[in-house]
Amino acid sequence: QSVLTQPPSASGTPGQRVTISCSGSTFNIGRNPVNWYQQLPGASPRLLIFDNNQRPSGVPDRFSGSKSGTSASLAISGLQSEDEADYYCAAWDDSLIGVLFGGGTKLTVL
Amino acid sequence: QIHLVQSGAEVKKPGASVKVSCRTSGYTFTTYGISWVRQAPGQGLEWMGWISPYNGNTNYAQKFQGRITMTTDTSTSTAYMELRRLRADDTAVFYCVRDEALLLSKFDPWGQGTLVIVSS
């Protein structure tokens, strides 16, 4: 079964750098672009990173994405309290012929 | 500015159907796809399917095939998602999203969400 695996939780203190991983397979991350979404409490998700490492306008450069092989990562530097949210990776899966989301990572700013 | 405005919350009984609307503005409706994503209470995101407003082509997630229909009305730039034979575990917030292209999974922006509660 095709899945994208994320750690369920992550944490850091203000100013720290944290990374969130997303592990997939050759059918999804290995062949297709990865996008990251941020969902603040009580809000709709928003696009944070697209095409592996591109930031939409308005997203601070504290957020960065990378991809290598069948894994991707989201990095947040200079952590701020307003970064406390759920983060999801997503990619097209060629075997499912559909979009897969990771299970989500809840980021806590201590 | 681009906006996706969805219809209001619904309460349905098991076995019923629900049809959620998504009115778009701020861009040319036929030049982007629309995907639907749902989120059960306290759970993650789940992609349900995609429709092209340009030609009506659809691609539904295997899990929903046979009980989901996505349509669009280009005269009002509105997309619709109908889910039939509802079960309690269909209780979720349903989001419409502007989808740049089917294989890109680039969803931007998102609607405000529509809560559908399935309960007897």
Identify the bridge partners of residue A37 per DSSP, sorted by sequence position: A47, A88
pLDDT at A1: 54
Q: What is the mean pLDDT of residues B30-40?
A: 98
pLDDT at B103: 87
Cα dihedral sign for B25, A39, B41, A101?
positive
Check CB contact under 8 Å for B109 and A37: no
Alpha carbon separation from B51 to A37, B38, B48 (Å, rounded)? 21, 15, 10
Check CB contact under 8 Å for A47 and B109: yes
In chain B, what residues touch A24 (CB-CB under 8 Å)? none
- Residue in chain A nearest B49 by alpha carbon: A98
pLDDT at A2: 64
Residue B15: DSSP 8-state: T
